Amino acid sequence: MSQFGPDYVRAIAPYQAGKPIAEVAREFGLDEAAIVKLASNENPFGIPQSSIAAMQAAAADLGRYPDANGFDLKAALATRYDVPAAWITLGNGSNDILEIAAHAFVSAGQAVVYSQYSFAVYALATQGVGARAIVVPAVAYGHDLDAMAAAIDADTRLVFIANPNNPTGTFIPAAQIAAFLAKVPAHVIVVLDEAYNEFLQPDDQFESAAWVRSYPNLVVSRTFSKAYGLAGLRVGFAIAQPALTDLMNRIRQPFNVNTMAQAAAIAALNDTAFLEQGALNNAAGYRQFVEAFDELGLEYVPSHGNFVLVRVGDDADAGARVNLALLKQGVIVRPVGNYGLPQWLRISIGLPQENAIFLAALKAALA
Ligand SMILES: *Cc1c(COP(=O)(O)O)cnc(C)c1O
């Protein structure tokens, strides 16, 4: 172990991203074109055509720095969510928002509360500022908000909530979040990470962005990486009142969202047909998965996102073993042993044909 850097940085376990297609092709001697990647909750339709056109138009301007204030994108978001543009912070993906929140609101030695089995970046952001993590045991693979409220101690400055949660897909209804927000002390900031909000059924949708008016300590985080199909461009944003937004903007790198990304995001935001197509495909793919899991007698966690967590065996190697068997067949999914779920795999919902290839490979792997 090197002597460089603070102990809390050396203690960080690096983020494990989904394996790139090219890497799996090289490692297993497969044809890249035949590989199915259902590992990173990306949009199976890829980037919207409207975003490609917007990027082509924006390309002529790339000799200049991006608009550091993201004027046009913030204006579009302000209209969409009915908040002032001054309440929006742009991020290089919403990962950036999570990091910015930790840096802006928490100092070394203070504490951050989040749930067991919640998004891996909460631990990274917490450790990155030398803060103490208070990890609250999950209930039925989801957030236990009562226990999380009770876990807030004198040092706590920040709470991360993923809704829906990744990697488990669990969802917390509006009333429970509202009850939680009412209990949290005024000086503790709550980051409500809604990376999968667009996949919620209409009945589950609620106006979290509007809640920001009522809660000066609430930060709502969203992304263009999932439903909007822009994962490779890195665009996310936060909505919060000016006191919090001002602090986040001091920490944010001035040019954290590049020119192409800003243009593509505006186009995607206005591309309602693309979102609708994605939602329909996701709902159909979810049914395709859970019917097959039921047939195979596999336990899964009912999901509100664009992925499903499924238990592929009882022994502690099950996830790794089935993952390897899938890789050999050219199917990339996400093992979640690093989340403390070694018997499970997380599968992103793809196109019908991709889902079918995965299910056939899964049956072979389990046989
Ligand atoms: C994917 C994801 C994000 C962020 O992704 P970005 O590409 O950085 O916007 C944030 N939170 C959760 C829970 C996610 O699953």
The preferred substitution site among 119, 237, 256, 339 for testing ligand 1, maximizing ligand atoms within 8 Å of CB, is: 119
Cα–Cα distance between 164 and 60 in angstroms, integer?
38
59 DSSP assignment:
G
227 Cα to the center of ligand 1, angstroms: 11
Taking 90 as the threshold, does the pLDDT of residue 213 lie above it? yes
Tell me the pLDDT band of 295, cut-offs 50, 70 and 90.
very high
Residue 17 has pLDDT above 80, yes or no: no
**pLDDT given at position 26:** 94
Weakest mean pLDDT among 30-34, 47-51, 142-146, 344-348: 30-34
pLDDT, mean of residues 326-331? 96
Q: What is the pTM of this model?
A: 0.96
Q: Which two tokens stand for residue 233?
A: 């461009």
pLDDT at res. 16: 77
Residue 351 has pLDDT above 90, yes or no: yes
Alpha carbon of 223 to ligand 1 centroid (Å): 7
End-to-end CA distance of the chain: 42
Q: What is the domain partition of the chain in residue ranges?
A: 7-46+273-366, 49-269
118 lines ligand 1 (CB under 6 A): no
Under the banding of pLDDT at 50, 70 and 90, the label for residue 3 is confident
Q: Which residue has the higher pLDDT, 79 or 1?
A: 79
Find residue 348's DSSP bridge partners.
307
| DSSP conformation letters of 318-363 | HHHHHHHHHHHTTEE-EE-GGGT-TTEEEEE---HHHHHHHHHHHH
- Give 144-198 pLDDT, tens digit per residue: 999 999 999 999 999 999 999 999 999 999 999 999 999 999 999 999 999 999 9
Residue whose structure tokens are 């924006």: 58
Per-residue pLDDT averaged across 359-363, rounded? 98
**What percentage of the chain carries pLDDT values higher than 70?**
100
Q: Which residues contact 84 (CB under 8 A, 6 or more apart)?
A: 78
Check whether 127 has a pLDDT greater than 80.
Answer: yes
For 319-328, what is the mean pLDDT? 97
Average pLDDT, the chain: 96
Among 90, 223, 348, which is best to mutate for testing ligand 1, by the most ligand atoms less than 8 A from CB?
A: 223
| Alpha-carbon gap, residue 328 to 4, rounded angstroms | 39
> How high is the pLDDT of residue 286?
98
Instruction: State whether the Cα torsion 58-236-245-215 is positive or negative.
Output: positive
Which atom in ligand 1 lies closest to the alpha carbon of residue 94? 9
238 in helix, strand or coil?
strand
Compute CA 71 distance to the chain's CA centroid, rounded to the nearest angstrom.
Answer: 25
User: How far apart, in Å, are the Cα atoms of 349 and each of 148, 162, 207, 341?
Assistant: 30, 19, 25, 19
pLDDT of residue 114: 98
Give pLDDT, residue 108: 96
Average pLDDT value for residue range 305-311: 98
Closest-lying ligand 1 atom to the alpha carbon of residue 96: 8
Return the minimum-mean-pLDDT range out of 45-49, 103-107, 205-209, 263-267: 205-209
pLDDT beyond 90 at 339: yes
1 pLDDT band (50/70/90 cuts)?
A: low
pLDDT at residue 284 is higher than 80: yes
Structural contact between residues 288 and 355, judged by C-beta atoms closer than 8 angstroms? yes
Instruction: Taking residues 310-334, report their average pLDDT.
Output: 96
The correct CATH number of 7-46+273-366 out of 3.90.1150.10, 3.20.10.10, 3.40.50.2000, 3.30.470.20 is 3.90.1150.10
pLDDT band at 2 (very low <50, low <70, confident <90, very high): confident
Cα of 29 vs centre of ligand 1, distance in Å, is: 31
User: Does the beta carbon of 92 sit less than 6 angstroms from any atom of ligand 1?
Assistant: no
Ligand 1 contacts CB of residue 162 (under 6 A) = yes
CATH topology for 49-269? Aspartate Aminotransferase; domain 2 (3.40.640)
pLDDT of 13 over the 90 cut: no
Average pLDDT on 33-62 reads: 97
